[in-house]
Amino acid sequence: MAAASASAPSTSTANTTEKETLKALTFQRLHPRAYLERFLAEQVRSDGREPGEWRDVSVNVGSISTADGSALVRLGNTTVVCGVKAEIAEPELDKPEEGFLVPNLDLPAICSPKFKPGPPSEEAQVLSDRLNEILLSSGVISTSSLCIEAGKAVWVLYVDATCINYDGNALDATLIAMVSALQNTRLPKATYNEETGRTTCTRKAMIPLQINRLPLATSFGVFDSAKILADPTAFEEPLLDTTFTVVLDERGELISVAQLGLGVVGSHNILTNCVSAARTRCSQLRSHVYKTL
C-alpha cells in the first residue's frame, strides 16, 4: 500500500493497486500454503529472495552503555538485542574453578502477534536451551577462564537476548548477537581478598573476555519435501516440514548438525547440500559479522 501511495499517478490506479494488494494479502492469510507454492513455482519467495538466498545481516556492537557488553543484530526484519551482565558468585562445590555462562532469549509479545504476554513461551524455552547447548559445546568461552579465586569467587555472565522484531530464524540472529556481545564484553579486574573474604573490582583495568571460537548458525527449511529455503521468515516457518540447523566455527568446521522433521527422499543429499551452502554463507558472513577478530 505504501508503494501504491508513493507512485500513484491518479486515484483510480491507486485504488486498483490497493485492491490488488489487499486481495493478495487476503489470499496469503487464508491460504498460506498455496500462496507460497505459487511463488516457489516461479523460483522466487514472497519477499523477493531466491530459495537459496539469505537475508542481509547488520551488527551494531556496544550500543547499550549500562551493560558490560552488548550487540544489536538485524537479520532481514528480525531484530535481536543482546546484553551481557557480569556478576560475582560462589562456584559449585564439585567445580571450584568454573564460572557460569547463562544465556537466555526472550520473545516478548511486542515482537510478533504470534507470542502472548506472560511466562516464557515454549518456543523461547526451546531456543534458549539450544543456544545454551551451542555456546557450551562450541566452547566460545571456557568457563574456567571466568574464575577469580578457585572455590571462592567466579564470574557469572548473564547473556540476555530480547527479540524486538520477529521475522523468523531467531536462532541464527540470536547466536550472532550473543557471540558479538560476548566479544564486546569487558570485565573489571577482580581480586579476591583472603582475609576479608570479599572480592574487589577495579574499574581502571577492563579486560576483554577470552573468546576461543566464533560459532555461526545457518538454518534451512524444507517446504513440500523438495524445496530448500535458506533463512526462513516468520511466514514460511510454520509451513516447513523439516528444518536443518548447521553450526560452523570460524574455520568452517562443523560444530553441530541438527535436523528436525522427516528427512524426505534423498534426505541425505539435502543435508549435504545444506552443509555446503552453510559453508559458503559463513565464509561470506564471517568477515563482516565478527570483524573485531
Residues forming the site for another protein (CB under 8 A): 120, 122-123, 125-126, 128-130, 132-134, 136-139, 247, 249, 251, 253-265, 267-268, 272, 275
Q: How many other C-beta atoms are found inside a 10 Å radius of the C-beta of residue 126?
A: 13
Q: How near is the Cβ of 72 to another protein at its closest, in Å? A: 25
Separation CA 238–CA 32 (nearest Å): 10
Contact partners, residue 118, CB within 8 Å, separation at least 6: none
Measured from the CB atom, is 16 or 144 closer to another protein?
A: 144
Measured from the CB atom, is 136 or 164 closer to another protein?
A: 136
State whether residue 224 is helix, strand or coil. coil
Q: How near is the Cβ of 261 to another protein at its closest, in Å? A: 7
DSSP state of 109: G
Q: How near is the Cβ of 91 to another protein at its closest, in Å? A: 15
Measured from the CB atom, is 228 or 255 closer to another protein?
A: 255
Measured from the CB atom, is 197 or 252 closer to another protein?
A: 252
Contact partners, residue 286, CB within 8 Å, separation at least 6: 214, 216, 250
Q: How near is the Cβ of 130 to another protein at its closest, in Å? A: 7
Half-sphere exposure of 216 (CA within 13 A, CB side): 24
Measured from the CB atom, is 76 or 215 closer to another protein?
A: 215
Q: How near is the Cβ of 42 to another protein at its closest, in Å? A: 28
Q: At what angle do helices 32-41 and 11-30 cross, to 10 degrees?
A: 110
